Structure 1
Amino acid sequence: MTEANGGPATPKLSKNEGLKAASGYLKQMVADELLNDEPTFSDDAGQILKFHGAYMQDDRDLRTKLKKEKKDKAYMVMVRIRMVGGRMTAEQYGVCDELSRVVGNGTLRITTRQEFQFHGILKQDLAVVIRHLNENLLSTLAACGDVERNVLACPAPIKDKKHEQLNHDALAWASHVAPRASTYWDVWLDGEKIETLPPAGPPLVKQAGEDAVEPILGKTYLPRKFKTAFAFPEDNCTDILANDLGFLAVVEGDSIVGYNVLVGGGLGTTPSAEKTFPALALPMGFAARDEILAVGEAVVRVFRDFGNRSDRKRARIKYLIADWGMPAFRAKVEEYLGRKLVDPKDVHVTDVDDHMGWREQGDGKLYLGIPVQNGRIKDDGPLRLASGLKAFFEKYQTPGRLTCQQKMLLMDLEPAWRDEINAWLEEYGIASVEKVSTVRRWSMACPALPTCGLAVTDAERALPSVIDMLEAELLRQGLENERLTVRMTGCPNGCARPYNADVGLVGRSAKIGPDGLPGPGTYTVFLGGRTIGDRINVEFKDYVPHDQIAFELAPIFARFKAERLDGETFGDFCHRAGVSEPAPAEVGASTE
């Protein structure tokens, strides 16, 4: 398209850009509709509501029934809490537990970004929920929307210098790049500003014409969401390469001297649009600890000013880097920064730890990592996880942390408590890590149906039965102790990070049951990533029914056992040997 003078036409901005501009720093529409009698926000207000940490949803299990009865959808709100590094006090856990029971659906969910989500909140209760969270020094601000999302950091409460430095730096960055407009407190707290992050200093990268209210994010905020993670090379527990911006610690002695700055990660994709793809972050340069705020700010500003604001499918920073190339992107960051960057150090991701089981903190106390299947904290038959955690935090009053693998760490535990805490696990039917299979331990899924509006299949509700079948198959082949990641999502957006897993399962099509409800359908199976998260996998087979996944993988497991090299992981084998589908006669695979 060209303009009348023959020059290139300015791309038309997406609708969301107009909404952000018209919102008055995210205030209008949300404030206007908050107190009306409607059970939902309008579509336009719902887009702005995301910046406040909430999504409008409906119970999709009830859609068909309600439609037949000519009734409205069963509207509800998902509320997400910003919890940098997954940090929480015992009192804060108690508040979250109470809200989940009183105004939620009775469950809490640990996300893959170290934070809690509430599901089933009614619009009429939203203001009370957000106020109560803030009064207990928790916030939903910027947990969603086109801003810096929850900042990830290693949750292990190890009392050494490097872990303390990394968590300090993550908190400082989260504070520095958070929204600065007063809107959030004006809408939800009657203007009373409650600080839930360390006070932010002024922007460090001065720029002519910057917005007076939001000098870093700008009046229309970022083109799309922006995610940041901090990690150690030997422990990539935050999946740093799947983030838009990553700070990979460079440690000398017992201290962090700086970080390799990685940019351009992001796993969301749209299979029908070839212009989209998953990508892992690439090294851009090195920054000393006292430089990371300025360097990170420059990256955000470049994304703000040059990211795609016309096509939201291409609006992530990974596409900007793919289109420009890293040299050009780095040069633009240096221009904004006002100086040259130092080249990255020869430091790379080498391993990962999920921090499960009993561990020493380094100060004479212990911490305990508890597996939580797919992050869902609930009471379900003999497993009374919600009741058990409520009782634990009420009794011991120690802090906790959430992990990027949807698990929980209980910290600052006295060694003398170990036997009684083990008895507590037994009393509430909570499995210790020793009682969980390796494949289940390293699995995770997004919520998908019935709450997510983007899902085409189940994930959280489907994965447990898939893991049951994989457990049986791996045991049959003598591979039950192999560490491999299995991650399932109900759509291609990749919230559970399936595209860099050993086995990625991505929802493809729904299967509608006789009751009219969507359920476990078919999935695209990807193979060849690996547990440490540093490689994108490739498609193995498409449209695999959920109850056939283990069957289709069985011959690949057999080849792995017969042909693997010494020390080779399952993902490495699939990458080396190739994962094109064998002929049916060769492996007895289904010909459907």
Structure 2
Amino acid sequence: MSDQNINWADLSEVEKIKTDSNYLRGTLAESLADPITGAIAVDDRQVSKFHGIYQQFDRDTERERKKTKLEPAYSFLIRVRVPGGLVNADQWLQMDQIADEYANGTLKLTTRQAFQFHGVLKGNLKPSIQSINKALLDTIAACGDVNRNVMASPHPYGSNVFDQVQDYASKVSDHLTPRTPAYYEIWLDQKKVAEGSQGEVEPLYGPVYLPRKFKIGFTIPPFNDTDVFTQDIGFIAIENNGVLEGFNVVAGGGMGTTFGDAETYPRLGTVLGFVKAENTVDIAEKIVLVQKEQGNRKIRKNARLKYTIDRLGIDKFKELLHEKLAYKLEAAREYALIRNGDKFGWHQSVNGDWYLGLFIEGGRVKDVESIKTKTALREIADLNISDFRLSGNQNLILGKIKGEDKNKINEILKKYDSLPSTISGTRSNSIACVALNTCSLAFAEAERYLPGLIDKIESSLSDFGLFKDEIVIRMTGCANGCGRPYVAEIGLIGKGPGRYNLYLGGNFNGTRLNNLYRENVNEEEILQELRPILQDYSQNRTEGEAFGDFVIRKQYIKEIVNPKDFKH
């Protein structure tokens, strides 16, 4: 791409960094070799995201290190791409080993069904990524302005098309993966392809890639466990008598906002229509191309597909899409979604295999005192009698287990005090992003704090007979929405240390935005606000009425119809 006719003043700074990166090489090799600092060069911090890496530092020690004139305690987050969240036992063991050898000893299961390693030092980046690739996984495009990890429902219960949907998720992921050899040169020591050769070409993305990150998810009704309406592209499987006919296509979802910027808002995707299964990869590509051509490359906060669609209008967007397609989208087919959470405990699929849903609080796989979940899962993986399915709610499903092997798994979990236990319906439907102490964007705690807050909320739940009732609660340390808090029945968004915006009114199946109920509240105020509403809910709900629907009906909060009306 020639720079001659580009007015860089009209583009965001990141656009020039991408263009100058020589297909995502930048000066990463030089940064990694620099022994003077634990950090990488400033521009390389943008380039490294395309390789699945974020530079971070320990914010708990920041002030003390400044006093002693030390640079921040830099480390890196590595995100492993896992299409559909499905790995085998050997891959789980490799991830477990990498966590111990190169990271902080824990595995983070993300809200996009990926693995994250935290606390990786610069010198351990290359051996970590090489170990990941030996497990036939990779980190390319786990971050950056490209299509990221493709999600797919991990729950096979009651569906004959589960494996087909998983296969389509993998095909879309493969098709939309960047083709630059830079990743393999830098991390796997492959020889650089000659300049100007075919290996340099990105046939889909070109040298500037997309204006912003891009997310795709598949779900199989009645589950919405991938929060399909929060994705840039969502595929809702349409199954008829055990046959996958195709997908309803959803476009324009996205969660991120910026405090104080009314031009940013969460948005749920719009159902465009129905596509036959064989056209799934093609329509994903064509929507990506429309976004590549039409997306905002000047203001990154307005660069996601949701803003492109709202700026163009849905009719114009569909017109541009149909210009690229060799067929027309059909009218959307009927479907029903009942929940966006996970099911725990033992369940049997239609083909007779067994699946065990395990709650992993905050998605953090670790050993804590007597509860040694990480050790238990390692011993289960050693048996090689199940696969491992990461859910979009940070939980884990052990899958494809034969009936005669169930007791083996139960015995291991019991030995390490990790058997599924009775927890509140609110805790079992909780999500928390990492936030402090490593995320540079976080204003407040999330993963480290939410479990303790739920302890206190459970006091009210118990008082009002609601302990077992499922209520979706999600907390993030900032407004970027990595934990999809804006579709939770109770959403808590970090505003400052110990203070949060409280949102109410999302629904249990993930098809409605919540709304700002109280701004900038601390823990005492959160508990004071929630307690009388929970009491009212326990006494005056209708049969089967979910909490989010109740607060809308009782007018505690108004339903958001137009996402532009969302308040920060």
Structure 1 position 158, deviation (Å): 5.4
Distance in 1 (alpha carbons) for counterparts of 2:183 and 2:66 = 35
Structure 1 residues 127 and 212: CA distance shift in structure 2, 3 A:
closer
Matching residue of 1:183 = 182
CA deviation profile, 1:499-527 (whole Å, cap 9, x unmatched): 000000000111xxxxxxxxxx0111100
Distance in 2 (alpha carbons) for counterparts of 1:133 and 1:10 = 37
Matching residue of 2:564 = none
Q: CA contact under 8 A between 1:97 and 1:108: conserved in structure 2?
A: yes
Matching residue of 1:222 = 210
Matching residue of 2:440 = 453
Matching residue of 2:237 = 249
Matching residue of 2:225 = 237
Matching residue of 1:22 = 20
Structure 1 position 102, deviation (Å): 1.2
Match of 1:367 among 327, 351, 355: 355
SS at match of 2:155: coil
Matching residue of 1:76 = 75
Structure 1 residues 573 and 226: CA distance shift in structure 2, 3 A:
same
Code of the aligned partner of 1:530: N
Code of the aligned partner of 1:364: G
Distance in 1 (alpha carbons) for counterparts of 2:72 and 2:24 = 26
More deviation, 108-117/396-405: 396-405
Distance in 1 (alpha carbons) for counterparts of 2:14 and 2:8 = 17
Q: CA contact under 8 A between 1:462 and 1:546: conserved in structure 2?
A: no
Matching residue of 2:561 = none
Code of the aligned partner of 1:427: K
Structure 1 position 12, deviation (Å): 1.1
Matching residue of 1:430 = 418
The answer to whether 1:270 aligns with 2:269 is no
TM alignment of 1:478-557, pairs within 5 A = 478-510=465-497, 521-557=498-534
SS at match of 1:435: coil
Q: CA contact under 8 A between 1:91 and 1:397: conserved in structure 2?
A: no
More deviation, 411-420/482-491: 411-420
Q: TM-score, normalised by structure 2?
A: 0.93
Distance in 2 (alpha carbons) for counterparts of 1:272 and 1:44 = 27
Code of the aligned partner of 2:510: G
Distance in 2 (alpha carbons) for counterparts of 1:348 and 1:264 = 20
The answer to whether 1:36 aligns with 2:34 is yes
Q: CA contact under 8 A between 1:81 and 1:116: conserved in structure 2?
A: yes
More deviation, 254-263/31-40: 31-40
Code of the aligned partner of 2:321: V
Q: CA contact under 8 A between 2:354 and 2:403: conserved in structure 1?
A: yes
Code of the aligned partner of 2:128: V
Matching residue of 1:477 = 464
Distance in 1 (alpha carbons) for counterparts of 2:22 and 2:158 = 44
Tell me the percent identity: 38
Distance in 2 (alpha carbons) for counterparts of 1:579 and 1:65 = 44
Matching residue of 1:3 = none
CA deviation profile, 1:541-581 (whole Å, cap 9, x unmatched): 11111344222201111222233222211000112222259
Code of the aligned partner of 1:294: D
TM alignment of 1:89-488, pairs within 5 A = 89-157=88-156, 161-191=160-190, 213-352=201-340, 354-432=342-420, 434-488=421-475
Match of 1:576 among 548, 553, 557: 553
The aligned length equals 546
More deviation, 456-465/410-419: 410-419
Structure 1 residues 537 and 83: CA distance shift in structure 2, 3 A:
same
Distance in 1 (alpha carbons) for counterparts of 2:8 and 2:384 = 60
Distance in 2 (alpha carbons) for counterparts of 1:385 and 1:415 = 22
Q: CA contact under 8 A between 1:466 and 1:547: conserved in structure 2?
A: no
Distance in 1 (alpha carbons) for counterparts of 2:133 and 2:156 = 24
Q: TM-score, normalised by structure 1?
A: 0.89
Distance in 1 (alpha carbons) for counterparts of 2:453 and 2:518 = 16
CA deviation profile, 1:235-287 (whole Å, cap 9, x unmatched): 11111001000111111110110111100000110021100000000011211
Distance in 1 (alpha carbons) for counterparts of 2:338 and 2:221 = 6
Structure 1 position 365, deviation (Å): 3.0
Q: CA contact under 8 A between 2:430 and 2:473: conserved in structure 1?
A: yes
Structure 1 position 397, deviation (Å): 4.8
Matching residue of 2:543 = 566
Structure 1 position 189, deviation (Å): 1.1
5+ long unaligned stretches in structure 2: 1-6, 193-197, 559-568
Matching residue of 1:66 = 65
Q: CA contact under 8 A between 1:159 and 1:363: conserved in structure 2?
A: no
5+ long unaligned stretches in structure 1: 1-8, 194-209, 511-520, 582-592
CA deviation profile, 1:65-88 (whole Å, cap 9, x unmatched): 111111110000000000011111
Distance in 1 (alpha carbons) for counterparts of 2:542 and 2:332 = 32
SS at match of 2:426: helix
| CA RMSD, 1 decimal | 1.9
Structure 1 residues 159 and 530: CA distance shift in structure 2, 3 A:
closer
Code of the aligned partner of 2:442: A
Structure 1 position 224, deviation (Å): 0.4
Code of the aligned partner of 2:458: E
Structure 1 position 42, deviation (Å): 1.5
Structure 1 position 341, deviation (Å): 2.5
More deviation, 441-450/395-404: 395-404
SS at match of 1:438: coil
Matching residue of 2:87 = 88
Q: CA contact under 8 A between 1:231 and 1:247: conserved in structure 2?
A: yes
Q: CA contact under 8 A between 2:223 and 2:338: conserved in structure 1?
A: yes
